[in-house]
Amino acid sequence: MKIHHIGYLVEDMISAVKQFEQMGYNAKKEGVVRDDARGILICFMENGSLLVELISPFNEKSAVSGMLQKRGTGPYHICYLSDDMDRDLKALSQNGFMLISPPAPAVALQSKQVAFLFSKNAGIVELLEK
């Protein structure tokens, strides 16, 4: 599987975008996207071939608010492109990954399906349908 992006938790989206811009990143044309289903704001930032997804909760029920409080700002997942979501989910599950969020449309990714898994040795990974 090929890496698509690195997910990066931030507390303040506007400040984070400004600081990433100071480090040579540019926000993708979509800018900040609100994902009401997950309670998060998302902004994809590019620096050459590297794509970073800034993620900030906008309410306490957010999918990541507890994680941000516990771990603080920083990278927390790697997203991989999947040619076959069912096959890849099955293979990862058979190799010690636990499904923590089943496939669902991602507003910031043209409603493509994404799923999240966890492994004690690899942490959180996201699968994105190609």
Model-level pTM? 0.94
Mean of pLDDT values over 84-91: 97
Strands 123-129 and 112-119: antiparallel
- DSSP string covering 6-40, please? EEEE-S-HHHHHHHHHHTT-EEEEEEEEEETTTTE
What is the pLDDT, as a whole number, of residue 1? 87
Q: Which residue has the tokens 């910031």?
A: 108
The enclosing domain of 19 has a CATH number of 3.10.180.10
Domain boundaries, position 66? 2-129
Tell how strand 74-82 and strand 112-119 pair up.
unpaired
| Tens-place pLDDT, residues 17-45 | 999 999 999 999 899 999 999 999 999 99
pLDDT of res. 122: 94
How many structural domains compose the chain? Answer: 1
% of the chain exceeding 90 in pLDDT:
92
CA atoms within 13 A of residue 45's CA, in its CB half-sphere: 25
Tens of pLDDT, residue by residue over 94-111, are 999 999 999 999 999 999
pLDDT at 2: 95
